[in-house]
Every structure is written in C-alpha cells, then in structure tokens.
Structure 1
Amino acid sequence: MALFQPRSVAVVGATEDRNRVGGRPLHYLRTFGFEGKVYPINPKRDTVQGFRAYASLEDLPEAPDVAVIAVGGDHVQGVLRQCAARGVRSAVVMSSGFGETGPEGVKRQSELVTEARALGVRLVGPNAQGVANFRSGAVLNFSTMFMEVPPQDGPVAVISQSGAASVMPYALLRERGIGVRYVVASGNDADVSVSELALAAAADPEVRVLLLYIESLADPAVLAQAAALARARGAAVVALKSGRSAHGAKAAASHTGAMVNDDALVDAFFAAHGIWRADDVHGLVNAVELYLACGLRSARRLVVMSHSGAVGVVCADTAERLGVALAELEPGTVQALARIMPGFATAQNPVDLTASLLSDGSMFGRTLDALAGDPQADMFLIGVPVAGEGYDVPGMAADTARFLRRTGKPVVVSAPQPAVRAAFHAAGVPVFGHETDALAALHQVTRHAALVQAASLREADASPASAVPAAGRDTRRTRTLSEAESLALLQSAGVPVVPHRLCHSAREAVQAWQELGPDVVVKACSAAIPHKSEHGLVFLDRRSEEEVRGAYEECVARVRTLGQPLEGVLVAQCVRGQREFALGVKQDPLFGTAVMVSDGGKYVEVLKDFVVLLHPFSEQDVLDRLATLRIAPILAGVRGEPPVDLQVVAKAAVALGRFAAARSGQIASIDLNPLIAGAAGAGGWAVDAIIEQEESRHE
C-alpha cells in the first residue's frame, strides 16, 4: 500500500510552523529520516521547513504517491480534484468538519467520497490524524506524541480510527521498550477503512502483533482477510472495539459518525476469526511482550514459583478468578523439588523457594530445571516480590531466559522493583510490575492461541459460501410462519422436534391425543398470533378426551374473538426434560448468519446470559461457548442432578446455522424457545418456534 511505503509525498497546506497540522508532517519527514521526495504546497513561500515549496500540485515535477491534505474543510473538495488531475492516487485528509459533526457533515463527507471514487483517489479520513511508518520515516501524521515519546521501529502495528487511541498504545509500548512500526489513525473511515489498513499491516512479514482500535466495523469481510493473513504466519491480532455500552455506542457515533454494530455480533465475529477482544487500552497492550516472547501457544495449567508464600497464594487466587487452573505436579517432579529445596520449603504448586534463595542463588535455576519436564506444567509465573543486594538478579534473569528458550512455554515474571524488572527485560523475559497483569497476559495469550487454532480449523473446513458477506443495503419484506410450518422446517433441517399433529376438528384433536398421550399440550396455530400464551391459547397437561376437546374449542373461540385467522390447533406430546434453552437465528447483512444460544424462559433479554456464534461453527465451538455462561456450573450438574445433555443443544445450534445460511435470502430469523434438553444422553426436543421468511433485494 502506497500509504505505508510512499516514495514521494506532497503536503497541501504546508506551513513553517511545526506545531500546526500542516507543519507537523514536514517536521516528522525530515526528523525521522524519510528518504523520498517531499513537496510542500504553499503559494506564498519559496521554501517550507527547508524543503523547496510549490504553488500548487500542478507545478510538481512528478505525481507524488501520497498527498497530505491539511486545509480548511471547505477547500478539501477542490484539492481532491487537483490531486486527481495531477495523478495522485492516495490522500490523507487531516481536515475536519465532516461526518463527525452531524447530518450536514455526513452529507459533505458522502459527496467527498463519491467524487473521490469517481476520480480514482483513495482517501484516509477525513478527520484523520494520519499514517506513520517508523521503518521508512514516512510519518504523515500530526500527533504531538512522537515529539514527546521518541519512536523506534519494531514488530508491532497500531491501527486506529481515533487519534488518541492510536498514540496511547504507542506510548505505553515505548515505555516498555517495545518498538512500533506503524501508527495509523484513520479518523472517519469514510473511504480507506481501518480494516483495509489492518490488512496492509498484516501483510508485513515483520509485524508480529497487530493492535486495533475500532469504533465502527463497516467491512468485516476485509478484517477477516487481515485476521487470516496474520494467522497464517503466527501473528496476533488484538482489538479494542468501543461502544459496548449504550452510552459508549452513542459517543462513538458522535465521535466519528460511525455506524453502531450489534456488540454480541462483534464478539462472535472476533472469536470466529481468532481476534482477541480487549476491554480497554491497558488490555490492548498488556500482553504484547508475551506475544513477542513465545508467540501464540495454547496452555491450560499454570505453575507459580516464588520465594514468597504470600505471593504464591495471591497468584493462586487470581488464577482461579481468571479461570486458569494450577497444575498438579507429577510425583517425580515433587521428589526432584524436595531434593533441591530446604525441608521447610513447599515442593508443591505454588512452589515456595522461601528466603533460602538469598543464601543459595543456584536454587532458582535448579528449580526451573526440575519443573521443565513436568507434563502438567504448561505455563509459568515467577514472582519476585523483593530482590536486590545479596540476590543474584542477573543470574535469575539469565536462568529464566534460558528456560523460556529451551521449553518454548509461556513464562512471565512479576516484580515491583524497577531495577529487577530491567534485568529480566534486558534478558528478553516478559516482566510485569504486578501479579494481576502478569496472569492476565498469560490468560490472554494462551486463550487467544486456542481461538486462533479453532479459527484455522474452521477456515480449512469452510466452503466459499461460508465467507462473511460483503456490506450492502437490504430492502426486505418478511412473512411470519405459523408454529406448525416453523416446526416442519426445523425438522427438515435436522433439529429434533416434539411429536405433534396439526388438527382441524375436535375429532382430529382427540385422535392426536390418543396417539401422542397420555398427556398433551393443545395450542392455537396462527401465524398472526406468534405469542400464544399471552392470549390464553396454550393448554398444558390435557389428559382426557373431554379436556382435549374443550381445549380445542376454546382455542377456536378465542382466536375468533381476536379477529385473527386460524390455521388449525396443534396437539403436541407433553415432553419433560432437565433444562430449557432458547436458540435464535439472525441474518446480518455485515456478519452473515448468527446463532444465539441461551438459557430458556422469559428472562433471556434481562439476564443476558447467552452466546452468539457466526456460521460456520462446530458442535465443539458451541460446547466451548456454553462453558462461558454464568449458568455453566448448573448445566454440569449440581446437588445430585445429572449434567444436562448439551450435545443435543450443540447439534441443534449447528443445524440451525447450516439451515439458515443455506437459505440466507429466504430465512430472515428463527426463534426456537424452548428447546427442552434432558439429562446427558437423553436428547431433547424443539417445542415451539417462529420462523420469519423474507423476500429481499440486496443492493
């Protein structure tokens, strides 16, 4: 992408003052060693900041690869036309006053982008802080941060829609001594999107960690390509998507004129493509050192080692809160540790070296050697709560670095003292000031690795039709099917459905009871009345001919009173299980077919204990996501109850996703509530469902 690797740059609106938007890029191009041609455009000066100036783009000796536009918003469209006339194909529009300002600004922005596309010019922005490549010195950016925090090239890229959210991670990484190659703030994302910029950064083979800040995800298909490209070479993608809360979503929209995405779908999209979602800027950068040290490596069991028993206990507590299991060391490992450590030390996990480390520095390395071969030990946290005179800190750091290189397993150190951290950092060991940050990094990198592995497997199995749809506008009309029609379609899709009959007379209803009994459920069947229980149209536990006949007649009378059409009365076998689940399908124009699975009942929307998966996904994907629900311990069986048959839920979810994705132009939504699941191995049944069919036209 020319924006990242320009050979020549024009700055329209160039100024001598390096502290103005039109002056800062020129200062950076000179300061950071850009070796290409620089063309300031300023009709009132012969030179600007030591560069020869030109009156207009037309006067340039060549067509520059990129133009930086730093003029008032009212003049941007005119400059755009000059760019096109001179053969400039890429522009960074720093000017504001567009989509971020409201409806009039949105209109101006739309007109600008429409004309740019017609002229063949790609735009970053408007309202963009700009692009920076610290390898080449092509810093087309006006942030003050690069004057305050000296840059250094490195294996990290920061791609952001926000200026502040691009330089905050940059500053935090540089404070830790980590180099950053690309820092991009794309502003309103009106043309070249944050996803396209991420794709360009992911193509750089030396970028090992890609950090994203996203306010609106308008082209997920492109971001999916970027994630796949990163996965293919072992690079990690971490994203901070703002707008989780209602207030946050509103603020994001006012900030960049962004379109607010359904946050649950964003979560599902990130998980499906192996992108780790950070909660805040700290979470965006916290694990970068560990990614760079060990890459994406899946691990489940933790060993804690320290010369403080208190640190071991605190780490064990924090690990449990994060869902990180402590390893049960093999008997051979415990025996080896006992031979190394004094009798009062703890040869179990957490491993407590005690203050004996002060008098015998070799104990540290020998303990690591004993732990190295334990098959239960997947990852390590080494707590160094205090060290200094008398402690062989350089030796401890060297031993840890050798251990990390030899085993390849994730290893982190926590140390509150800056001098101690500096020693481990110099040895190439990821080090943190606090145990919580160290454990959070381990949790993130190892779980992220599992996400990436699952995404790679799905990619290998996916058909071309499974790709994320291109963004577009849907105009649709929908028709709600009756319960009988909906259940018939679900049965054809492979979802287990409760045995039932659609009856058109009391005699047929009685006959159905005789076939399905001894007790049945009687329900009115009308597409116009999807929520039957609210109108008293569901009769449970009908056990006799008289009760069934009476329920049938009551259904007919009540529907007639409501003035709605009646397609018949549904008589269904009364099935009982251990747990009710709700499953739903949504066809999203950006993300494709999404399937929701949650605890059943009427409190689904209030409790918000649900998971969303994007087609294609596997039964194991469903089971893994169900394990994250708050009700997961209940589903596993408590107080003598057997575990719930989650396999039937997983099979139903996969069947729904496959069925709906194959009919993306026909099925608008599916609401299956409840799916009654029995104990493990007993199966389950879809009891009620509503399907909306659509006639759509994609534009």
Structure 2
Amino acid sequence: MVDLNSLLYPRSIAVVGASTQPDKVGGMPIRLLRELGYGGRVYPVNPSAAEVQGLRAYGSLADIGEPVDLAIVAVPASASQDVMAQLAGNGTRAAVVFTSGFAEAGESGVRMQDMLARSARNAGVTLLGPNCLGAMNLRERMFATFSPIPLSGVPPVGEVGLVSQSGAFGAYAYALAREAGLGLSHWVTTGNEAGLQVADVIEWLANDPNTRVILAYIEGCRDGQRLRQALAAARAAGKPVVVTKVGTTAAGARSAQSHTASLTGEDAVYQAVFDAYGVHRAHTLEEFFRLGYVLSRGRRPAAWQRPEGSGAAAVTPLAIVTVSGGVGIMMADRAEQLGLPLPPMPEDAAEVLRTAIPFASTANPIDVTGQVVAQPRVFMDAIAGVARSGAYGCVAAFLAGGANAPRLWPELQQTIGALSEEANAAPLLLAGIVDDDKRAWLEARGCLVFREPGHAVEAVATLAQAAALESARDTSSETGPRREARLRDLPPETTALSEYEAMGLLADAGVPVAPHGLARDADEAVRIAEGLGYPVVVKLCSREILHKSDVGGVALNLADAQAVREAVARMAQAVAHARTDGGAPVPFEGVLVARMVRGWGEVMVGVRRDPVFGVVALAGIGGTAVEIFRQTACGLAPLSRAQARAMLRDSRAAALCEGHRGNPEVDLDAAAQVLATVSQLAAELGERLDTLEINPFIVTAQGLVAADAVVTLRPDHRTAS
C-alpha cells in the first residue's frame, strides 16, 4: 500500500511558486491554509518576494533549511523537473502538482510527464497529479488545493472519503457534500495520475481509521489489478465503496473472431469488477451522494440474505408503515423490484392495530390511514411493534408532512428515542417532509430521512448489501499454471487453435465434450464415424478458418459413409480456394468427426482476456440466439461454482436446465461446475490466451456437452524475441 500520510497529514507544507495574490493558483493554497485553521508550518517559495501573504518567503526549497512533508507545486510544466530535483535534495516526501500542460497536451507533454513520474519515483516522493486540483484533510484543516470553494464553507468533519480523477467533478462534489451536510474525512483529486492512481487512494482510505465510506469518481483505469487490489482491501476492511463510472457505452468493446469479445463491452467488465467486490454503483450525482449519506449514517439490518445472481444485492425483510395506501403501494412496488420480501405483520401487532383502527390494513404495507391525525399514538405503536417483532430487518415509514405536526412530533420523538437505544430493534427509515432541525434530531438517532418514499426503500437494499459486505468472504477459485506450458509449445506466431486442439484442451481439463476424432482423409473419417456410431457431424479443422460455416465447413446429422465422404470432399475443395490474411494458401489439416449430440437447448460460455482486468468470463443462451437476444452475464475468472451458477441465472441460460416440454431437469450445480472449470482453465492458460469460446454447450439429459470450441491466442512476444 502506498503511504499517503505525508500527503494528507503533513506537519509542514511548502508552496513552490507561491503568489502574493491570494486568488492566483500559487496563492490560494496559502490563503486557505492560513484562513481555515491549518496548524502546521507553511513555507512560501518565491525567489522574487521577501514575503508572501504575511509569511516569510524563501528563494528555494534548500533555503528552508529542513525537510518538508508536502510540497504544493504551482510552476510551469517546463520548470517541473528542476522543482523535482529540489524536492529530492530537500527530503520532501510528497508533492501535489497543480500544473497542466503534461500528458493532456500531446506527445511533448507525455514525455515531460514520464520524466516527472520517473524523477518522483527515484526521489521517493509520493506524487499527486500533475494537472490535478489537489487534496484536503478536513479533520486537520489541510487544504492543498487552488479551488476557492472551501472559502464558501467547509463540510462537517465526517467519515466519508472522496476521491476523483476529475478536478471539476471533485470541486462540484465537495460543494454538494457541503450542501447535503455529508461529513468528509478526506478529499483527493488525482488528475493525470502520473503517480497516485484512484486505486492507491481507495486502498489507503480502506485502512484509514477516520474513514468509514469511500466515494470514487472514475473515468478509466490503466491498472486493473491495482484497482481490484484496492477494492479487495475495502471489502476486507468492511468499508463500502460507492463508484460513479462514466463512459458506459459499448465503444470500448473489441471486435474479434468470437462472440465473447463483441458481447462484453468495457462497461460490462467494469460492472463485473464492481459486482465481485460489492461496490455500490451510482449513475447520477444525486444517487452518488444519497448512497454516501445512507452508508455513512444508516444502521445495518441484522437480518439479511443474498439472493442468487452475480450482481444481485443482498436483501432484508422490510416492513412498510404508511399513512397513505397509495404511497404504500408505490413503496411496495419498489421493494418487489429490488427483491425485498414484505412478510405480513405479526399477528399480535396486527391485532393491536385492528383494535385501535378497525379499517386499517394490517397486511404489508401496513396502512394506518389518515386516522393518524386523530390517533398519533397508534401509528407509533405500529412502528414500534414491527421494529421490535424480530420479523423485519428494517422498517420504512411514510409520514407525509406529519413529522412537522405539533401533536405528532412529540410522539415520534418518544418512539424513535426509545427504539434507538434498543439493540435488537430494526432500523427505521422515514419518508416525508421534515424540517432541518427535526431531521438533524432524527439522523442523530440513526433514523435516515428521505423526501422520496422510493429512496427509503432503496436505502434498505443498500444497507443490506453493506451488511453483507461487512461479513463477506472471498469465494473466488485458486488457479495454478498447470496448462500454460501447453500453449508455449506452439509457434509464437500462432493466433488460434484448431477445433480438434481446442476440444482436446477442454477434455484434458475435465470439460465434457462430444466424442470425436481427427481425420486426414475420407477413409479415416468414415472409420471414425463408424466407431462413434451414426449420425455424426463433420467439421473442417483449421487454425486459419475459425468460422467454419462461412465456407461450408460444417455438415450435420450425417447418417452413413457416403454422406461423410461427400462432406469431406466439399470441405477439401473449399479449403483449396481459401487464403490466409496474408494471402497464402490455407493448408488442409483434416476434418473433425464427432457424434451428433441430441439436446433441447444451447448455452454459450466464453472467456476473454480483458486488457485492463485480466480474464473475464461470459455466459448466456447459445447458438445463433446469442446474437439475437444478447442476454449474457459477465464475471471475473476464475469463477467459483456459486458465481458460475449465479451467472447462468442472470443470463437466463439456467432456464434451459430446469426442464420444459417434457425434457428432464438438468443439475444446475453440475452445469455451473462446467462453467467454473472452463473459467479456471482459461485463467491457468496464462498471458498467451486471448479468447476461449464454447458455443454451443448442448443441454442434454446427461448435462452440458461441448459441441464446438474456438480458442484464439495472442502472439508470444517473449518466445518470438
């Protein structure tokens, strides 16, 4: 883990390029540090001034005469190398570089940024930036930024750490956090990330005792393993991470010779990463801060469960108590969409409510009706009854504007005050119109408040997921390099396996494949077919032609020797006219003869090597339907059997295993194990693997059977060199 203490807890700060004008980039940090209460030493460095904003100025870092924990660098990009040399000589441990004109400005800027990063590494300096808005530690009143926004007010000190790749987003998020009263611990913008990445900050915040929740804005990621490591650290620490990831279109999907690459866009891979580590994803700024509010202030439900599904959030039994039947239905609809169960009101509590208000609804939602105006105590008894019943993980109550009613507020205070002191009472979330003072009182006792009733229900799902995260265990499989050598034996320029080679690789790994053999001519093909038993399939076998059907290279349901001979002849003739991408003739490698597998459904399983995050698995309904419906699920490989089972359900491929129209049910756990085995194999094959796709896996009474396989490779640059 990168140590950010010198950056975020500096005892001394030098501002290199310090300005006498407080509103300049080199002047604002000094103004903020002085006016907002920073307690450490501040050293302005400006060779042209004796004093800067009332502080003695120094001609260089060396003139300070002692090491400095943090340097804020506000000089032109062309002077950055000289400043970095001074930092090395001064013993400075961290630097924030505001300056732009680096990688974002073209090739010359890229070279300057590379030199800056290299100099920082050699000097042992933790580098933030360049082209960033800086960092803040709210608890220490440390403002290493040139943004003037803190002058308009500082958010309360809290337990939410915020990190953003974008300075503009970071500044806006800071202002919104202040408006929302969301307490911040740290605020960091990473800019061009020549040194620190968002992942470094997430991992540090995961280990920071003053941070409980992490909010992150991400535009992209160059080091997927680093981000996975950071998210794993947050999960291990039980600290929820909320991410806004922009750039969600399929523009990042690579085109390749398989469905696997074209169906898994960049955003699907990011979502698989977020699902794997329990990250909460926000798609709007409002949701970004609402999730931060919920996770930082909300009590976790004691009773929760995780439904089956690779990206499914954990759920908890919910009681909805309302003064409006219509709003109660709206909340119940949202609960059903989120998979939150709504058990009926326990009979003893229901009897109390029916006795007091005979026309009240004691189902769930529990509708006390407008009678609450005349009988406010009944509404509070209903809330307390379900909260104490043990039947619910959370209680969501809709009170409209009742919380501000003089007669009802004291009753609400009494009830919530008592429940907040009871460890076994379910957490309460309130929807309605509440003034600021009452809201603060409620939140101080763990009662979250929302204007939108649906948001209260969504918060329940979020809190259940957080509770699951805090007790999570890593269920991923372990892999070893058992099969990597098999690909290393191939010529370095090989870009694909023949289907015969691919099927052999699968069979060696324990994946069920259709019985088959390789024939070099028609006579051999007939001998194999007769050994397997008719009907058979004959397919062209070639490393060069992967889409065999495009050249007439697939013949199905062949019933006798004559049909087999004719198929082999057609395929040999097709190859005679084929050319490689380089224009060379395609050699005839033979045909694959396989038993015709009978089934009632097709599943597609694919694995590809994502350039950022590594091996990614895909599953869905197979055959040509995969292109039509594009109903797939994505996960990080290797998969555990539970993860594979969830992917089959998410993609609806599991429905093919459940038996229909007289077909027997197939063991879904066994089908999931096949998918897990394929993902394990792909992870073990090493850097040489590009894609591995099985389409179709035919669903039979005996389980899934691979009927076709494509394996594409990346050039072996190590061997080639």
- Output the amino acid matched with 1:510: V
d(CA) in 2 for partners of 1:551, 1:462? 44
The CA RMSD over aligned residues, in Å, is 3.1
Residues 523 and 76 of structure 1: CA distance in aligned 2, closer, same or farther (over 3 Å): same
Residues 165 and 453 of structure 1: CA distance in aligned 2, closer, same or farther (over 3 Å): farther
1:417-461 Cα distance to aligned partner (Å, 9 max, x none): 44564553343311111023222322233235446655x2327x7
**Matched residue, 2:640:** 618
1:125-171 Cα distance to aligned partner (Å, 9 max, x none): 00010010011112101223222232321111001111122233333
**Matched residue, 2:261:** none
Residues 1:366 and 2:371 are matched in the alignment: no
- Output the amino acid matched with 1:294: R
Q: How far is the alpha carbon of 1:290 from its aligned partner? A: 2.6
**% of aligned pairs identical?**
35
1:209-254 Cα distance to aligned partner (Å, 9 max, x none): 01111122223333334333333332211222222126799xxxxx
d(CA) in 2 for partners of 1:71, 1:408? 57
Contact 1:42–1:56 (8 Å) recurs in 2: yes
Contact 1:169–1:284 (8 Å) recurs in 2: no
1:271 aligned to which of 259, 269, 275: 275
Contact 1:401–1:429 (8 Å) recurs in 2: no
Residues 1:443 and 2:461 are matched in the alignment: yes
d(CA) in 1 for partners of 2:592, 2:493? 27
**Matched residue, 1:61:** 65
**Matched residue, 2:540:** 524
1:130 aligned to which of 113, 116, 134: 134
- Output the amino acid matched with 1:389: A
- Output the amino acid matched with 1:541: N
Q: How far is the alpha carbon of 1:108 from its aligned partner? A: 2.3
1:683 aligned to which of 696, 699, 703: 703
**Matched residue, 1:355:** 370
Residues 1:324 and 2:344 are matched in the alignment: no
1:183 aligned to which of 187, 207, 215: 187
> What's the secondary structure of 1:697's corresponding residue?
helix
**Matched residue, 1:485:** 501
Residues 1:110 and 2:110 are matched in the alignment: no
Contact 1:158–1:182 (8 Å) recurs in 2: yes
- Output the amino acid matched with 1:279: H
Contact 1:500–1:571 (8 Å) recurs in 2: yes
Contact 2:44–2:57 (8 Å) recurs in 1: yes
The aligned runs of 1:657-676 (5 Å cut-off) are 657-676=679-698
Give 5+ residue unaligned stretches, structure 1: 250-260, 467-475
Residues 637 and 353 of structure 1: CA distance in aligned 2, closer, same or farther (over 3 Å): farther
Residues 188 and 393 of structure 1: CA distance in aligned 2, closer, same or farther (over 3 Å): same
d(CA) in 2 for partners of 1:600, 1:338? 54
- Output the amino acid matched with 1:685: V
1:314 aligned to which of 310, 315, 330: 330
Contact 2:161–2:184 (8 Å) recurs in 1: yes
d(CA) in 2 for partners of 1:508, 1:160? 64
Residues 631 and 95 of structure 1: CA distance in aligned 2, closer, same or farther (over 3 Å): same
Contact 1:327–1:349 (8 Å) recurs in 2: yes
Q: How far is the alpha carbon of 1:687 from its aligned partner? A: 0.8
1:324-383 Cα distance to aligned partner (Å, 9 max, x none): 233222653564454565110000101111122222222233213332355652333211
Contact 1:96–1:127 (8 Å) recurs in 2: yes
1:416 aligned to which of 401, 415, 433: 433
Residues 248 and 660 of structure 1: CA distance in aligned 2, closer, same or farther (over 3 Å): closer
**Matched residue, 2:321:** 305
Contact 1:234–1:295 (8 Å) recurs in 2: no
d(CA) in 2 for partners of 1:200, 1:402? 38
Contact 1:578–1:644 (8 Å) recurs in 2: no
Contact 1:336–1:370 (8 Å) recurs in 2: no
The aligned runs of 1:28-107 (5 Å cut-off) are 28-107=32-111
- Output the amino acid matched with 1:435: P
Q: How far is the alpha carbon of 1:70 from its aligned partner? A: 0.9
Residues 1:595 and 2:620 are matched in the alignment: no
> What's the secondary structure of 2:242's corresponding residue?
strand
Contact 2:278–2:465 (8 Å) recurs in 1: no
d(CA) in 2 for partners of 1:140, 1:458? 40
**Matched residue, 2:608:** 586
d(CA) in 1 for partners of 2:272, 2:9? 34
1:439-492 Cα distance to aligned partner (Å, 9 max, x none): 2322233235446655x2327x757999xxxxxxxxx75431111110111111
TM-score, with structure 2 as normaliser: 0.86
> What's the secondary structure of 2:540's corresponding residue?
strand
Residues 499 and 674 of structure 1: CA distance in aligned 2, closer, same or farther (over 3 Å): same
**Matched residue, 1:377:** 392
Residues 1:497 and 2:518 are matched in the alignment: no
Q: How far is the alpha carbon of 1:204 from its aligned partner? A: 1.0
- The number of residue pairs the alignment matches comes to 675
- Output the amino acid matched with 1:690: V
> Which stretch of structure 1 is more off in the superposition, 396-405 or 178-187?
396-405
d(CA) in 2 for partners of 1:649, 1:401? 52
d(CA) in 2 for partners of 1:592, 1:364? 54
**Matched residue, 1:434:** 452
- Output the amino acid matched with 2:463: V
- Output the amino acid matched with 1:133: N
- Output the amino acid matched with 2:367: D
d(CA) in 2 for partners of 1:507, 1:346? 79
1:80-112 Cα distance to aligned partner (Å, 9 max, x none): 222222222311000111112233322321222
Contact 1:330–1:374 (8 Å) recurs in 2: no
Residues 538 and 391 of structure 1: CA distance in aligned 2, closer, same or farther (over 3 Å): farther
d(CA) in 2 for partners of 1:296, 1:53? 55
Residues 500 and 394 of structure 1: CA distance in aligned 2, closer, same or farther (over 3 Å): farther
d(CA) in 2 for partners of 1:118, 1:296? 49
The aligned runs of 1:248-259 (5 Å cut-off) are none
Q: How far is the alpha carbon of 1:399 from its aligned partner? A: 2.4
1:513-546 Cα distance to aligned partner (Å, 9 max, x none): 3343442222111121111011111111212333
d(CA) in 1 for partners of 2:323, 2:663? 43
d(CA) in 2 for partners of 1:132, 1:19? 18
Contact 2:510–2:677 (8 Å) recurs in 1: yes
**Matched residue, 1:469:** none
1:145 aligned to which of 149, 152, 162: 149
1:280-318 Cα distance to aligned partner (Å, 9 max, x none): 322222122332322487433322111110110111122
**Matched residue, 1:294:** 299
**Matched residue, 2:158:** 154
- Output the amino acid matched with 1:275: V
